Amino acid sequence: MILFIVIIYMLFVLGVGWWSGRKYIKGMTDFLLAGRRLGVWMCAATLAATHFGGGMVMGGSEYGFNYGWSGAWYGVSCGIGILLLAFTTAGKFRELSLYTVPDYLELRYGGKTIRILGSLLSLVALIGILAAMVLSARNALGILGITGNTGAILATLVFIVYTTFGGLWAATITDAVQLMIAAFGVALGAFLVLAKTGGISNLSAMLIAKGVESNYFSFWGLGTSSIMWLLLPTIMYTLIGQDFYQRLFAAKDGNVAKTASIIGGIILVIVSFFPTIIGMGARALSDLDSGANSFPWVVQNLMNPVIGGIILAAILSAIMSTADSLLTAATSHIVKDFWIETFKMDQIKDEKKLLNISRNFTFIIGILSLLIALIMPGIIDALIYSYTMYSAGVFIPVMGGVLWKSATREGALASIIVGSIVALWGILTKANIFGAPAEIYAALISLAIFVVVSLVTQKKR
């Protein structure tokens, strides 16, 4: 029964991709930005779904198992990041009618170098995270007994095909459906845990009997520094991530982008607590040694096959909603930042030709990520390091360009280069500076370079 539900779900999303491609996709802008026609609710759903992935579902339950209520902080951080988008750049960037974040960098500072640097760091990181999503899908399908690479290949081909057919339209429609399924699934899992334990108070009593400490029941139990080092990098990437801005650029206008960001952020903050409850319940009810198995344990032990199928579809939904976001974002970099702007292969007015090119690159990137995940999984971590380098290098030029009119191109370029290098040094040496992640202290150095070089070069400009 569980397998049947999952198969029906995959056929459904494939159908959505085919239908979207036939009905809505006429050119590159339709494919990459849904024709810039997203309303508030669709835009909010796809923004929230971009963050609400396998990491928040599986990782959130693991954090709940290990740290209690403070395990919700990763999801809450994601929600706060999108809320901050609403009040900083969401409306402003949408009104500029851009395609990518590097579009803004070149528009603000001038020159192709800054576009290329930002695009490369972002593209490599997106491919690495996409490959990690392939492995997440494999682990989720392992609950069904589909072990090995078969499940990963099937799930990956599904999101590659529907995204190749329908682009951001398909991704947005399926994101909305996937968010509803995923939110319902984790909420149902949390409800079953509370029903089994007899409510929050009984759950707390069972956990106390197992010897958990008092800070397990505090939202601040992780400690101020741990929460800060979880919160800040997540917010930094959200404020500059191409996968988020692509959704904002697809909104009807700046007001829609801003309102959708507020709604999407609130949705994420709310749903982030459900996986946490599931993890806490698994710790109270099971003899598990590892929190990583808490979500699968709840599915296998507390649910009948129909509900289990819904929950598993919820996990796959969360993974796919993140994967299709990464896939369309990576395609935007290749087509807009490299194919059109850097190599001048085509003009943007030739949208029908560019549509085929976009579809081809979407398929190629998806297959490349699948091959990396299955053949060279060891390099995924290395690719994802670009995520840290991108945040450390690009965050200051983007936000600084918005907030400081006197920032110069030289300051932005120096900031990206130095910030990325310092972040790479921190990754390779595992340098510990007050326990802060590499992107935090690298961004602070990037900020200093940004200000100093901009001040020095202002008169020349």
> End-to-end distance of the chain based on CA atoms, in angstroms?
68
Q: How far is CA 116 from the centre of its chain?
A: 22
Q: What pLDDT does 316 receive?
A: 79
Side-chain-side CA neighbours of residue 210 (13 Å)? 21
The CATH code that applies to domain 2-375 is 1.20.1730.10
In the structure, what pLDDT confidence band is assigned to residue 2 with cuts at 50, 70 and 90? low
For residue 196, pLDDT over 90 is answered with: yes
Q: At what angle do helices 73-88 and 254-271 cross, to 10 degrees?
A: 170
Q: Which of 365, 359, 363, 340 has its CA nearest to residue 350?
A: 340
For residue 178, pLDDT over 90 is answered with: no
Q: With 0-12 CB in 10 A as exposed, 13-18 as middle and 19+ as buried, what is 180? A: middle
In the structure, what pLDDT confidence band is assigned to residue 381 with cuts at 50, 70 and 90? confident
Q: What pLDDT does 147 receive?
A: 72
Q: What pLDDT does 181 receive?
A: 82
Q: What pLDDT does 108 receive?
A: 96
Q: Regarding predicted confidence, which is higher, 448 or 294?
A: 448
Mean pLDDT for the chain?
Answer: 90
For residue 311, pLDDT over 80 is answered with: no
Q: What pLDDT does 144 receive?
A: 66
For residue 18, pLDDT over 60 is answered with: yes
Q: Which of 185, 160, 437 has its CA nearest to residue 302?
A: 185
pLDDT tens string 330-350: 999 999 999 999 998 888 878
Q: What pLDDT does 255 receive?
A: 97
Q: What are the boundaries of each domain within the chain? A: 2-375
Q: Regarding predicted confidence, which is higher, 345 or 441?
A: 441
Rounded to an integer, the average pLDDT of 390-412 is: 95
pTM: 0.91
For residue 460, pLDDT over 80 is answered with: no
pLDDT tens string 61-115: 999 999 999 999 989 999 999 999 999 999 999 999 999 999 999 999 998 999 9
